[in-house]
């Protein structure tokens, strides 16, 4: 039986045009772009052309586009880089504002800063998973150097008020604003003029794994995490991933080009799936409706019997349905930290399923998904917990 994939927040398939670019550049442009010979010069030229393309698409300066290995590195570079540069410059203890529902690459990075003596405030969110702009303003301190808030939550799809936060910080030049844009890019419009640091990941938008970027505005002082050569303005040294860079530029271009049609498809799929799930008594919805949430993510929990996400995922897998419960980076955790922050309910947080949709999903696929979820619910209702744990 072929599987139907509904875990597109974890990773997406390569777009055919991106695949062609990746294969061509891997084979034809293999020279080190830092080399001074003609082949190295050609490789470097292609990298800079890609940087220019991305800068135009994102409306930033080319030298503000820094290539990394992915979103985790970009998020760590943004947070640690700003904090350490400020601490070294001032000799003071910095303060960071973030939320309780960030991706683990932000949340755990900030936890590490706490262990190092940095002051970090993890702000609460409301029942829809959204942080209040007024809470951010009230939590600022004289030593606040960074506010880090994701655009779209990777578990629930909650959309944060990024533009409003940016306006709040516009007249506070000493406080930098970092946005993890991984799940929002191509799904929700966003002007990054008031954002100082912006993270993107290649494999979440039809690009390859192992490539990401961090937009770093010229006004930001940032300490590197790595030391070596002078690649990426010395901010991110290491041999440039030429095929990754060229492929990511193509992925960004295609994502923005196809955004309107993508959103039309996703909205149709979302409405079909969400409207059916809310009618099932044993299910509670953890994702709000648009415009509070992005239509490509639907999160729900099964209530009763102490059922865990792992059991539900296993039942769906037997029907050929591939889903997850939370971020792939945190999937070994029993209860979702994000849902605990939103609901303060361990049962809800331990029995969640995340459906993440894609423009390649057909209405027939979505209907089969819903049929499989109904069968899952009926199966769970007829079994005791021991039988379910045994996979009966």
User: What residues are labeled active site?
Assistant: 329
Give the strand order in the sheet containing 297-302.
283-285, 297-302, 352-356
Pairing type for strands 197-201 and 352-356 reads unpaired
How far is it, in rounded angstroms, from Cα 305 to Cα 317? 20
Query: What is the number of residues in the chain?
Result: 392
Q: Which residues contact 138 (CB under 8 A, 6 or more apart)?
A: none
Among 313, 311, 287, residue whose Cα is nearest residue 300:
287
Instruction: Say how far apart CA 51 and CA 179 lie, in whole Å.
Output: 20
**How far lies 245's CA from each of 39, 48, 75, 125, 241, in Å?**
17, 9, 18, 35, 6
β-strand pairing of 297-302 with 283-285 = antiparallel
Give CA–CA dist 378/348, Å, rounded. 19
DSSP per position, 211-264: -EEEEE-TT-----S--SS-GGGGTS-S---HHHHHHHHHHHHHHHHTHHHHHH
Torsion of Cα atoms, 267 then 268 then 271 then 277, to 10°: -120
Tell me which DSSP letter residue 287 carries.
Answer: S
Q: How many helices (H) and strands (E) does the chain have?
A: 13, 12
Cβ atoms < 10 Å from Cβ of 194: 17
């Amino acid at each position: 039986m072929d599987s139907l994939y509904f875990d597109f927040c974890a990773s997406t398939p390569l777009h055919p045009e991106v695949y062609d670019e990746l294969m061509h550049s891997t084979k034809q442009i293999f020279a080190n772009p830092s080399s001074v010979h003609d082949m190295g010069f050609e490789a470097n030229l292609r990298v800079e052309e890609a940087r220019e393309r991305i800068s135009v698409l994102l409306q930033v300066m080319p030298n503000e586009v820094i290539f990394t290995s992915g979103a985790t590195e970009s998020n760590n570079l943004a947070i640690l880089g700003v904090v350490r540069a400020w601490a070294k410059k001032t000799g003071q203890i910095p303060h960071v504002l973030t939320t309780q529902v960030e991706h683990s690459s932000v949340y755990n990075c900030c936890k590490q800063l706490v262990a190092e003596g940095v002051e970090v405030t993890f702000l609460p969110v409301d029942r829809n998973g959204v942080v209040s702009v007024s809470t951010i303003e009230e939590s600022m301190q004289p030593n606040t150097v960074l506010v880090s808030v994701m655009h779209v939550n990777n578990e629930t799809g909650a959309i944060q008020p990024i533009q409003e936060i940016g306006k709040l910080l516009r007249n506070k030049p000493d406080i930098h604003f970092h946005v993890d844009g991984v799940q929002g890019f191509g799904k929700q419009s966003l002007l990054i003029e008031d954002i100082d640091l912006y993270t993107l990941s290649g494999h979440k938008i039809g690009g390859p794994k192992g490539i990401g970027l961090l937009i770093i505005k010229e006004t930001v002082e940032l300490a590197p995490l790595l030391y070596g050569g002078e690649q990426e303005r010395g901010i991110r040294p290491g041999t440039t991933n030429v095929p990754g860079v060229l492929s990511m530029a193509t992925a960004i271009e295609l994502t923005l080009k196809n955004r309107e049609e993508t959103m039309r498809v996703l909205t149709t799929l979302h409405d079909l799936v969400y409207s059916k799930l809310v009618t099932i008594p044993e299910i509670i919805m953890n994702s709000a409706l648009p415009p509070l949430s992005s239509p490509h993510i639907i999160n729900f929990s099964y209530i009763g019997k102490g059922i865990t996400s792992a059991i539900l995922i296993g039942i769906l897998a037997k029907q050929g349905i591939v889903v997850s419960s939370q971020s792939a980076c945190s999937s070994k955790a029993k209860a979702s930290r994000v849902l605990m922050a939103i609901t303060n309910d361990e049962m809800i947080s331990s029995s969640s399923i995340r459906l993440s949709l894609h423009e390649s999903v057909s209405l027939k696929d979505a209907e089969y998904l819903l049929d499989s979820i109904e069968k899952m619910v009926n199966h769970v209702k007829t079994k005791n917990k021991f039988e379910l744990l045994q996979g009966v």
